[in-house]
Amino acid sequence: MVDVAGLELTAEDREVLAHPLVGGMILFTRNYRDPEQLAALCKEILAVPRKSRLLLAVDHEGGRVQRFRVGFTRIPAMRTLGKLCEEDSAKAKDEARLHGLTIGQELSSYGIDLCFAPVLDRDFGVSTVIGDRAFDNRCSTIIELARSFREGLNAAGLAATGKHYPGHGAVAADSHLELPVDRRSMDALQEDLEPFEALIKDGIESLMMAHVRYTSVDHTPASLSKIWIQDLLRKRSGYEGAIFCDDLSMHGAAVVGSMEERARIALDAGCDMLPVCNDRASVLGLLESLKDLKPQKAASDRLKKLYRKEA
């Protein structure tokens, strides 16, 4: 999954987006000026000649993480729903569903397939990068509200992406800048898994892995770990949906080596799609160095289920 720098495609962008190893594109604030421009850009992206169409995605959770603002409904941080839930659970669930529905309707109208939400992390008050992006610290509240939010997305024809498995909220470090290390026992981590397990049982369509090292389980970050992805997520939890690595350009992934090494380790661990953002040179290098790879049918089939549907 790649990105582009501007408000319209360049010749190089089109060449990259047509490459058979590229399966998706992620949009950022820099790609948005106004609704008319976004509609033209999305149309241009989806018109790139390919055997199978691109999966078009954006981080659009609400609060601090909402890429498009002018001309879009302002969605509050999900923590506001957690606070409301303490006073009126039914109203909080209704609002969560409405936020999911609004996001889904607005994004799908531009041809966007996937919103990388909801955040299923618990907030322990130590992670500034998660913070009010989390619904709450209480698993029961997170599960209730995330279910309602996903229901709204689905009603608008969009799939959901739960993140960041197995939980990013208990570490202070920002994985964009360094590798966070969580030294809690597996028993302690198990509670963080509850929201993910609940949404997995519901059939959530995709999950995004955390660039966090959980030393009681594996010294490899979860996003690149066979233990977390294959043994725990796929086998133990029976998860059958799509798995996104978090952005391989983030410093949390850099501990395992070069960009090519990160990509090969992530694929070998079981990730279905690898976002590589804000680093066109690395994208071009990867497309050359990974030219021996063939897209895997099982991964492609899981990702195709994320294409938007007519609501």
Number of domains in the chain: 1
pLDDT of 77 above 80: yes
Flag whether 268 is in a domain.
yes
The catalytic residue among 3, 13, 132, 246 is 246
Flag whether 311 is in a domain.
no
* pLDDT of 29: 97
The catalytic residue among 176, 219, 268, 301 is 176
Flag whether 27 is in a domain.
yes
123, HSE (Cβ side, Cα atoms, 13 Å): 19
State what percent of residues in the chain have pLDDT above 90.
Answer: 88
Flag whether 3 is in a domain.
no
pLDDT of 96 above 80: yes
* Helices first, then strands: H and E counts in the chain: 10, 10
Flag whether 51 is in a domain.
yes
Task: Report strand pairing: 161-165 vs 206-209.
Answer: parallel
Mean pLDDT along residues 171-185: 86
How many residues are present in the chain?
Answer: 311
Domain with 59 in it: 11-304
Contact yes or no for 99/75 (Cβ under 8 A): yes
CA distance 160 to 158: 7
pLDDT of 122 above 90: yes
Angle CA 25–128–227, to nearest 5: 60
Does the active-site annotation cover 176? yes
| CATH number of residue 41's parent domain | 3.20.20.300
Contact yes or no for 134/217 (Cβ under 8 A): no
Does the active-site annotation cover 211? no
pLDDT per position as a tens digit, 222-277: 999 999 999 999 999 999 999 999 999 887 787 878 999 999 999 999 999 999 99
Mean pLDDT along residues 289-293: 92
Flag whether 193 is in a domain.
yes
* Neighbour count for residue 71 (Cβ, 10 Å): 12
Eight-class DSSP state of 219: S
Eight-class DSSP state of 232: I
pLDDT per position as a tens digit, 36-75: 999 999 999 999 999 989 999 999 999 999 999 999 999 9
Flag whether 4 is in a domain.
no
Give the DSSP H/E element, type plus range, for residue 91. Answer: helix 89-108
* pLDDT of 254: 77
| 174 φ/ψ angles, rounded to the nearest 5 degrees | -95, 120
